[in-house]
Structure 1
Amino acid sequence: MNLFVFGLGYSARQLIGLHRERFTAVSGTVRSPEKARAMEAEGLQACVFDDVTYDPGILNRIARADAILVSVPPMREADPVLAHFSQAIRSAPNLRWVGYLSTVGVYGNAGGKWVDETTPPNPATLRSRQRIAAEQEWLALGESAPLAVQIFRLAGIYGPGRNALVKVADGTAKRIVKPGQVFNRIHTADIAQVLMRSIERPSRNAVYNVADDQPGPPQDVIAYAAELLGREPPPEVPFDEADQTPMARSFYSDDKRVRNTRIKTELGVALRYPTYREGLRALLESDESLKGER
């Protein structure tokens, strides 16, 4: 199976790293020639696409692809992949699966209530509104082409090198408290598992929440990471007093619990890390740089 990835970022590279043997060829895009050379050093064929200009070789790779994963975020005006490559994707002779990585942020603020894929989106930020528009464009393409488009709404992503353990260990962790606030999370290994199951059994124009089983307060995750490392957790800081970037603060505007039933019933997924506790424990055991922190 030939996989082409728009946006060889963190989640996409975790998928490739865990399931490389499932693909006969893997290639994708990066935003600069420097990044392309770095990907090639890892054994990945990379083409440059910076949302505006692109390597013409991308068209040939689309034509040879059996599956395409899209992890490029939308621009203000439009989805950049569709803006440049919609016709090439629609007419690719071997293509049977397209996966688009979106976010559970499209549901907006549910006041701590549960949401699922039947819940109408109610995006609270411009970024999330752009995501919904891109989702709709991709689903429209799927309706007009002989291929299966899948939308994956991801919860808060963590995994090797990007997790609460790293933040506690390097002293950057903050325990910000906003009463009643909860988030879902998802380990990159489980994202990869969901994507592979979907590639194996594609369903036309399906939407999936990719989230763990137990939403929880973010300060609890930091406290648990500190416990695993044998450290005192950082002090609690009220949300209104926390020094945060505008983007970081925007994440706290959404308060919801995300159901993940569909990935289990339709794709047969059993999460490897159903909560952040299992995920962080496994990361601690696998990361040599953190083992000495205990």
Structure 2
Amino acid sequence: MTQHVLLAGCGDLGTALGQRLVERGWHATGVRRRPDHLPAEISPFALDLTDPGTVALPSVDAVVITLTADGRDAEAYERTYLGALRGLHRALRAGSNSGESLPKRVVLVSSTGVLGGGDGEVVTEETPSSPERDTARVLLAAEELAAELFPGLVIVRPAGIYGPGRTSLIDRVRRGDALAHDRMTNRIHRDDLVTVLQTVLELPEPPALLHAVDTEPAVLGDVATHIAGLLGVPVPPDSSASSEGGPRGKVLDASLMHGFVGELQYPTYREGYDALLSSEDSA
């Protein structure tokens, strides 16, 4: 029987996931305010999840929530994340056959930002959340709200998503912007994140929380040096001295995720940025 997935907030990540799932025999419905530009294989559903009114969403087997705030402050995050979660819950309840049942599998894409800054220590899924930014506190509140609304929720926390259309670090290196070379970073290519989400949907009993990063945390200076070599530009200057004594960032242990997903297409930033810049050159 064909499985039906609802992609709530179907932007770049949700669209890529929907296309992958359709290839694997799923039916995918993408929910967003303006779904006009969704690819043909994803059924569009126009709805503002923060204000769904009495609209009923279709009964589905699974939901993946990939929201993007419409601003950078905490108020915008509250409006998008908390408001959309409540609206999604109401619209799913309205569309369920019994008026009570919800999809058995609901996945929320959050962020490792809820863990706080860090000072080079290794963190796992067992590490308590300690958000430092107001927006990260809202994300943690969204995780807690989603767990209340959707029994059996799975939370996936990626860090440093890059890939097609996500080239901010490449752009900074190309411009020669100063970077904190000793800052520890964690990354995952968008296509590998899609694989993580696909796996979570298809596993009989996935963990309730997964970190989603590649196999090699690295200092930002190493990543920038690699990108500069690919671009043929000077390595950006080091701004670390200006933040001396500040946190160095955290090292994310994603061994739990890797145990379920297996080998990634882009296991480190090297393979990922090589492929990304190669595709830019051939475009």
Task: State whether TM-score is above 0.5.
Answer: yes
Of 44, 53, 56, which residue of structure 1 is paired with 2:42?
A: 44
Aligned: 1:156 with 2:149: no
- 1:23: how far off? 4.1
Residues 190 and 273, structure 1, Cα contact 8 Å, conserved in 2? yes
- Counterpart position of 1:134: 142
CA gap 1:54/1:207 in 2 versus in 1, 3 angstroms: same
The separation in 2 between residues aligned to 1:73 and 1:98, in whole angstroms, is 17
1:273-284 matches, within 5 Å, as: 273-284=266-277
- 1:272 corresponds to which letter in structure 2? Q
2: CA distance, partners of 1:216 / 1:101: 23
* 1:218–1:50 distance in 2 versus 1, CA, 3 Å: farther
Residue 108 (1) aligns with residue 108 (2): no
The 1:96–1:110 alpha-carbon spacing in structure 2 relative to 1, beyond 3 Å, is: same
- Between stretches 124-133 and 10-19, larger displacement belongs to 10-19
Counterpart of 2:74 in structure 1 is none
2:281 paired residue number: 290
In percent, how many aligned pairs have the same letter?
27
CA-CA distance at 1:47 after TM superposition: 2.7
Change (3 A) 1:202 1:73: farther
Name the residue aligned to 1:222: 224
Provide Cα deviations, 1:47-66, integer angstroms capped at 9, x if missing partner: 33335333865x232x2x11
Gaps of 5+ in 1: 243-251
- Aligned partners of 1:2 and 1:25 also within 8 Å: yes
Give secondary structure in 2 for the equivalent of 1:36: coil
CA distance in 1, matches of 2:175, 2:54: 42
Shift of 1:168: 6.7
Aligned length: 266
Q: Is the 8 A contact 1:105 1:254 kept in 2?
A: no
Change beyond 3 A, Cα 1:183–1:94: same
With normalisation by structure 2, the TM-score equals: 0.81
Q: Contact 1:152–1:208 at 8 Å: present in 2 too?
A: yes
Q: CA deviation at 1:284?
A: 3.3
Q: How far has the Cα of 1:163 moved from its partner?
A: 2.9
RMSD: 2.9
Task: Give the 3 Å change call, closer, same or farther, for CA 223–18 of structure 1 in structure 2.
Answer: farther
- Measured against aligned partners, the alpha-carbon deviations of 1:84-119 in whole angstroms (never above 9, x if no partner) come to 232454684572211100001111022110000000
